Chain A
Amino acid sequence: MAGAAPTRLSSIYGWLLESKNGLGLLFMLPAAAFLLCFLTYPLGLGVWLGFTDTKIGRSGIFIGLENYEWLFDDPIFWLSVYNTLLYTTVASVLKFGLGLWLALILNQHLPFKNLFRAIILLPWVVPTVLSALAFWWIYDSQFSIISYVLMNLGLISEPINFLGDPTNARASVIAANVWRGIPFVAISLLAGLQTIPQSLNEAAALDGATPWQRFTKITLPLLSPIIAVVMTFSVLFTFTDFQLIYVLTRGGPVNATHLMATLSFQRAIPGGQLGEGAAIAVAMIPFLLAAILFSFFGLQRRKWQQGASD
């Protein structure tokens, strides 16, 4: 008996260090522990909290779908859903269009190409909150530099109320989001563009294809797999955006810029209704799943395009 325990221990040791699965388990342990404790468990806990009336400092009880029923009748929640969809759609389309344009420009033969590439990534490197503060100052209701320039040009007679008017505020936060998102889209698409052989373009040009035809028939189809992935990431991050709105408007004026993420924060942390906040966060999951599935099929198509079997 005394000898059995060490033998079993050493056999477990041997299994851990020698066999594939033992070693794999051992190596996966730190990452798996972190992700299970702080990612999988919270994800499940979040879903559970959505079914309870937990408040800050008070553990809640199971109340079924009450949070969701409450949200269903809450016009502010539906406004935030509408805002999120609007924000994501408009910002993503603009980011894609402008980002692709910038990528195409950078793909040309340019002097100081690497310098430009480095400069263009800057908005993406700087912390969002800090660059959003700069935008806050640019959007100031009295001393906005944009208003100043437009007034000096004689285009407007009084300063634009960027963040005080619902429509202006929406446009302003979208503009700031696009500003921050363009570099990511442009540089990623540029990497994709660089893998397209110029010889294809040259051959098409010799056959008499116009630049527009070359763009739509060669560049876009070859770029589409990477476009799918980049845009999925972009849509995901825009959909769940929090920082920019929190800095610029905190959801105002009259909830016109409240996204689901900011509404969830406002209800849960300053409002103390953890359960309701969690329910709003859970309501975002179906949209995220849709985006992930879209990405999955984008990747599938890529395999097929490369001639690999499924």
Chain B
Amino acid sequence: MSRQTISSDPIAVNDDVTGLDQFSTLTRRILVVYLPLAVFVFVLLFPFYWMAITAVKPDHQLSNYKEYSPFWVVEPTLAHIKYLLFETSYPGWLWNTMLVSVASTFISLLASVFAAYAIERVRFTGARVTGLLIFLAYLVPPSILFIPLAFIVFNVGIFDSRLALILTYPTFLIPFCTWLLMGYFRTIPFELEESALVDGATRWQILTKVILPLAVPGLISAGIFAFTLSWNEFIYALTFISSSENKTVPVGVLTELVRGDIYEWGALMSGALLGSLPVVILYSFFVDYYVSSMTGAVKE
């Protein structure tokens, strides 16, 4: 019977879908697949639930587990968020983070498009070696660079300014974006470029009119990924910024909202929640781009 299906309709020979799953019973599937998956999802999501529930919990419920169930909230309050937005520098930190992330992402994308195109398509002498060096640059972690960078930033005179972050974030963004875009450019057929060359287009025209429109998905992937990486950056911002009005969200929340021994958990968790929202919203719109850029960075 299966032979008949194959010969009559070759498209039906599909390699993914159910595979051998059809042989396992429901009980087995529940034990092997659904139960572990449920545990995984619960563990991976619980901290976010805990963050969110704490952010809207009135203070007296936070430390009273006897009368109020810690897992739920009665009379949710916006007091913590209000406190955060109107009595701390939090809005300023949000603005700084946004500004720094957008600027460094933009700079990195611009530099990376040119670099990736040159390495992948102009094929200058040593292009392969340059590509390998870019990959190695991606592997250099910020935790071994922050001390000399602090030294440089201080000597250049941009210590404690947003410019210091805008200029240093591309060190980890450019290698990543270039590497990702190289992969995208590689998938664009040579013939398109050749025919444009024959028609008399310059390299610049080929790049802007042929390659870039085709590489838009790659640009989006690289862009949102770079934005997320800069939004999450911590060690440079912690080292290079000292005044409150220039801090980014992660640094501000940690250094200014944690005071002494009395932790204002409500305000802290609201700060964490609000600070995560922009990237989470961006993520929810571009899930597939994220996945492709993450796996694209790992694949050769």
Contacts and interface: CB of A to CB of B under 8 A. Distances in A.
Interface of A: 17, 20-21, 23-25, 27-32, 34-35, 38-39, 41-43, 45-46, 49, 54, 98, 101-102, 105-106, 108-110, 114, 116-123, 125-131, 133-135, 137-138, 140, 142-143, 145, 148, 179, 182-184, 187-188, 191, 194, 197-199, 201-202, 205, 226, 229-230, 233, 236-237, 240-243, 246-247, 261, 264-265, 268-269, 274, 277-278, 281-282, 284-285, 288, 292, 295, 299, 302
B151 A49 contact: yes
A30 B110 contact: yes
Main SS of the interface on chain A? helix
B140 A102 contact: no
Contacts of B144: 43, 46, 240, 261, 264, 281-282, 284-285, 288
B272 A133 contact: yes
The 4 closest A-B pairs by CB, nearest first: A24-B124, A27-B118, A31-B115, A240-B141
A302 B299 CA distance: 11
20 contacts: A20-B125, A24-B119, A24-B125, A29-B114, A30-B115, A35-B171, A41-B152, A43-B140, A120-B41, A121-B287, A125-B290, A131-B48, A184-B294, A187-B294, A191-B299, A194-B16, A240-B142, A265-B239, A284-B143, A299-B300
B148 A20 contact: no
Contact of A32 (B115, B125, B127): B115
A129 to B, nearest CB: 4
Contacts of A265: 143, 146, 235, 239
B77 interface: no
Interface in B43-98: 43-45, 47-48, 50-51, 54, 62-63, 65, 70-71
Given A105-B40, A268-B147, A131 B47 contact: yes
B41 A119 contact: yes
B286 to A, nearest CB: 10
Interface-centre pick from B202, B239, B298 (highest chain A CB count, 10 A): B298
Nearest to A303: B300
Nearest to A241: B143
B246 interface: no
Contact of B17 (A109, A148, A191): A109
A243 to B, nearest CB: 5
A72 B63 CA distance: 46
Interface in B98-153: 107, 110-112, 114-115, 117-119, 122-125, 127, 130, 134, 136-137, 139-152
Given A109-B18, A120-B41, 15 more contacts: A28-B119, A30-B110, A30-B114, A32-B115, A38-B168, A43-B144, A46-B148, A105-B36, A131-B272, A133-B271, A236-B141, A237-B141, A240-B143, A261-B143, A281-B147
